[in-house]
Structure 1
């Protein structure tokens, strides 16, 4: 018998199903509505910001780097705009194939590939890396026509640093280079990460390094609306970058060029200072190098050529290399003897051509009977200063010389300055480990008195000490920058040129030493170099041993070139009111009158007369000063 379902029961069952389905649908809508409310109301600000970030890109605007000019406005470091072909490694799958394809459109040399690989190793993966710089307009046009083939490759307009005089004054000016990991760490430590966004280069040496904070400027930004492909649609807002400050130097670049030419192919250094301000007029280290090589990343070949050269062109000899001062130390020893009361200006002392101490005979090159202070400087008597050193003692010498900046950094605004060595018992105890090496011996004091022994000073220290002597004992901090100039409003901030301390020198003592130094260039060891000069100039020649002769006679022609004595000369001019004090060192140049003094003559001629004299004939070695 067939069972029939009740219509009422079926209807009730259907209605229950409809209610359940309706409740399920309503629940889903409730969940969606809740989710919509959460996203649109509760998290509105968050997602609005995210959406804006996707729509708006914040791009850094790199500031113009400040320029560097000499005291007469001659530009030594400047900027210029050029196009660069850059690859973003994170957006390029087959890097080598892409570069090969690009080379069919734009000339890419092996050195460009080598530099690209080197920069790529130092860069973060999301940064664009230049494969070619300084593109011509024609090269830019060829690439733009086929840009669609190269995703991740762009042509960018960049500012480049340029040093128009090339190798001139390069050790002082320095150079910039691409930012590496060490630079990034220093930037982060200073809390300047935001200010270096978009910046690829930073000062690496010289003034470019020491004045980086002034030269860099302040980074700006642009708010740009972008499409889904990341391309700019329109500019929404812009905060302009503030250019870096310009540097105006105390340096006279023409004087610098005269000095560098005077050295020729010889190694050495020259520092010239304004005695009344501490401003550096010339700072020469030879040989030199072209800083433009470093701007785009120096090639391996160029780097090896500089780094492996036996002449060490990257070494700043003017402020870093320390040398025995030789007889240029004697004018300061004379002042020390007068100040300590160990000598008087007129006092004559025996000069038999040697001095005996502890059974050892310290030799001079000539016996003179007796000499006074004036003659001791003019003829460069070693015996006079052997005796004086013994009378003063090492502590007396060290305490007096320290006042002139010997053995300590001057604080010049060019980085890399060395302390030098002002010998003393305390220095020796710190320098050596073994007790027998730490002991100070009296015989060592005798050698210190003539600028030998442990004495070692930079050309900067010698020039600065000479400037202090001739300005009456006022100690300035040597500086190369005279003004920091704001390019926006032209305001100039002077670098401090007030004396930092005063040495209590007796004017009569200083005058006596200065008279003797003037006579050096009239009838003494510097006479040949300054023959016919239409001005009076004070000076002192010096010769510094490179190695010990061990009692043998020095014969220059029989000694290897790099083992010959160093040639030194210190000077001031004009004698009555000095406007320049300088120190010259020629490595392995022999007697001071032979190499260093003629260079000083050319520099002083140009400084006082505005012209360059021909090199005087070198003085015969037989008439030169003692070591």
Structure 2
């Protein structure tokens, strides 16, 4: 009735005990990732010298590269899910949905960003596979590029003589502008898609975005006038260093790093480890599944990995962060421009150990500037925890095993 009294019972379904889900998340690693990212963002916002007041959104993804298990997944700002369990008030709901920092959005899968220099391994792949570059050839970087359009390097005066390994380690824009000119946008797009960009990862979460890959067809799809639909050579240069029309999620970047670590394969990322019933019987056990493969030579991947190792070694863009790290880390830093009037985003992506990779870590902070100095310390803390470097007995055992 209108007063809520039942008129007739048509049937009844008794409740049954639900199943329990075991996640792949490593709780200790998750806490380290979340707390370290929060602390780093606060430091950036409040720094006395050169602060980054808008570094208020960030994300972390850590993957087991051999299985695809998500070990940590952080999106800041976040919210307390218990608000929904106890019954969220209208004021609380309005506070969440009207917050310009969008705490309800899982940035690891539902926000896309230009990758900046972490994309350079894609361009390196295209150049090496097309025989447009090799380990022996060097290009002299004076800090400016003028073959197609006037472009500058991030380092005034340039990097001097660089081969592809040094170009990755020092993130030389001039080298990759030239590689972009040589291979062209179609090959850059081809290999970007081969690494899984522009496609959903398939993780068991709602709201994932596929992002976009720079290319002729994509540009045609977003502009109406024929003049704007045309692809220009200068746009190829932008695409070669991860700028322009590229836009990826942190989880996609984690898959990409895992592929570089794992001989060209990446495992499908997943959060569910198993599902058990009320009696403890396993209803579903998630097994590793190949997510994709980059069909390139082992030599190409070896050269690129050498460049990534150089990032954390003397002269590399993250050496200052990892100079005292006892385990070899292959990495790439990124500073992604997205609005000429605003501070670039910062990326840091890595895998370790270099010799036999186990874990891939990606850190992203909006409007934080250089990824090496901003995201690098967060990744370092996560790797320290993963390898038990602050627990003397476990550290000693691990290093002996290595």
The TM-score normalised by the length of structure 2 is 0.87
- In the other structure, the counterpart of 1:247 is 21
- In the other structure, the counterpart of 1:566 is 345
* Aligned 8 A contact 2:59 2:365 in 1: yes
Write out aligned runs for 1:171-570 (5 A). Answer: 220-221=13-14, 241-264=15-38, 265=42, 266-358=56-148, 360-364=149-153, 365-366=155-156, 367-523=158-314, 524-548=316-340, 563-570=342-349
Q: Distance in 2 between matches of 1:578 and 1:400?
A: 22
- In the other structure, the counterpart of 2:387 is 608
Q: Distance in 2 between matches of 1:489 and 1:580?
A: 30
**Alpha-carbon distance change, 295 to 612 in structure 1, aligned in 2, over 3 angstroms:** farther
Q: Equivalent residue of 2:361, what SS?
A: strand
- In the other structure, the counterpart of 1:593 is 372
* Aligned 8 A contact 1:258 1:612 in 2: no
Q: Deviations over 1:274-310 (max 9, x none)?
A: 1111111111100110001112431111112222222
**Alpha-carbon distance change, 501 to 531 in structure 1, aligned in 2, over 3 angstroms:** closer
Q: Distance in 2 between matches of 1:376 and 1:503?
A: 22
* Aligned 8 A contact 2:194 2:293 in 1: no
**Alpha-carbon distance change, 610 to 288 in structure 1, aligned in 2, over 3 angstroms:** farther
Moved more, 446-455 or 503-512: 503-512
* Aligned 8 A contact 2:352 2:360 in 1: yes
Q: Deviations over 1:429-452 (max 9, x none)?
A: 122222111111111000011111
* Aligned 8 A contact 1:348 1:373 in 2: yes
Report the Cα offset of residue 460 of structure 1: 0.6
Q: Distance in 2 between matches of 1:578 and 1:492?
A: 31
Report the Cα offset of residue 571 of structure 1: 0.2
Q: Deviations over 1:427-484 (max 9, x none)?
A: 1112222211111111100001111111111101111100011101113221111212
- In the other structure, the counterpart of 1:90 is 3
Write out aligned runs for 1:105-184 (5 A). Answer: none
Q: Equivalent residue of 2:320, what SS?
A: coil
**Unmatched tracts of structure 1, length 5 or more:** 1-87, 93-124, 127-193, 199-219, 222-240, 550-562, 614-627
Q: Equivalent residue of 1:484, what SS?
A: strand
Q: Distance in 2 between matches of 1:443 and 1:276?
A: 38
Q: Distance in 2 between matches of 1:381 and 1:583?
A: 21
**Rg (Cα) greater in structure:** 1
* Aligned 8 A contact 2:318 2:373 in 1: no
Report the Cα offset of residue 340 of structure 1: 1.5
Q: Deviations over 1:93-113 (max 9, x none)?
A: xxxxxxxxxxxxxxxxxxxxx
The TM-score normalised by the length of structure 1 is 0.57
Q: Distance in 1 between matches of 2:289 and 2:104?
A: 32
* Aligned 8 A contact 2:63 2:360 in 1: yes
Moved more, 454-463 or 523-532: 523-532
Q: CA RMSD in A?
A: 2.2
Report the Cα offset of residue 489 of structure 1: 4.9
Q: Deviations over 1:98-142 (max 9, x none)?
A: xxxxxxxxxxxxxxxxxxxxxxxxxxx99xxxxxxxxxxxxxxxx
